Structure 1
Amino acid sequence: MVITSVEESKNSKDILLVYIDGSYSFSISREDYISLNLYEEKELTEEDVEYIKNTVNVRAAKYAAVKYLSLKQRSSGEVYGKLKREGYDGDVIEKAIEELQDMGYINDRVYARKFVNDRIKLKPKSVRMLKMELQNKGIEDEIIDEVLREVDQDDEEIALRLISKKFGRYDLRDEKVQKKAYTFLCGRGFSYNLASKVINRIIKEK
């Protein structure tokens, strides 16, 4: 097994792509590449390659992930995306995330609870929209459904509170105001039918 070529990653100048016997083998940080005394035409054993992939690279990925996590709490999906953009291989990322989960650095259930609670307090949205946002963060559906069941949010009451707060001083019988109210609620993930029900309810109560 011989290193036949080395390329700089398009994602990061600090990551190098190493090719062995003409085929891509692994990515490695420039720093680790130098410290391990790697170079083109150097011979490596299978044990050398496994050590680089499963120890050196996982350690580097964990370090990069912890640095990213130090800014604020992140989901496993966000960490995966960040490391992937930095040029780490998928199997290395998965192993690094698994180890960080075991260490308590990453916890999607805790992340989802905080995300939902913050949304409810600061920017309420429909259950459907909350689920979509969490899915985009890479949270598993099982965790999302569990967290949303804990919250037990009533979409109609949330929508009613939002409209009352934002459009309370306006006449919702006015077509222009009503159109803005529909757009506002649909933008927060509420269905047209629910928006119509809430708006008509406010009009009748007035």
Structure 2
Amino acid sequence: MSDTSPTNMALIFRQEAARLVEATHRDLKQLRTQRRGEESRAATAERALNTARAAAVALGAVVEHLEQEARAARTAWLDADPSRCDMSGPVCPEHGATVVVTQGRNTCTRPGCELGATVPRADWDHCSAPTVVVITDADGNDELTVCRGHLADARTRLAGLRIVTILTRPHDAGPRGDEGVGR
């Protein structure tokens, strides 16, 4: 069964458009080398090539729109799921905002940590890690439901961080359980 996700379909459409433009260009070159009396055929082929190029440009815009729609739908889906972190961006589940990308690979900057490599690129727009706590600032403003990684990051950035609720359901505890949440 083939992958029919919007991103994969966009890639397939781009490849097909590029193939069509290339084939039309090849045919045009062949027509140009034919006898001089067939100039009208060459002009027709030139118009066909220009049409194919315009179609490729339009298809690129459609692909970009589909990619944006897919990202927006995924973000809305994650926003509506209370078991998923409210924050965005890649974080190490253990150390927080310490993930860097080198040659397409996620890496936690803490020596010896391998957890940063487990953060998929799709999670950069919206963290989809399981939630472990509900937190707020010292004044009780803006409750956020966050994962282990964003909790670690919030501890370093949010003065007076308060843990409102510790979520103890096993499927919400994250890859390493809920140890250290109350620390």
Structure 1 length-normalised TM: 0.27
Larger helix proportion, structure 1 or 2? 1
Higher relative contact order (CA closer than 8 Å, sequence separation 6+): 2
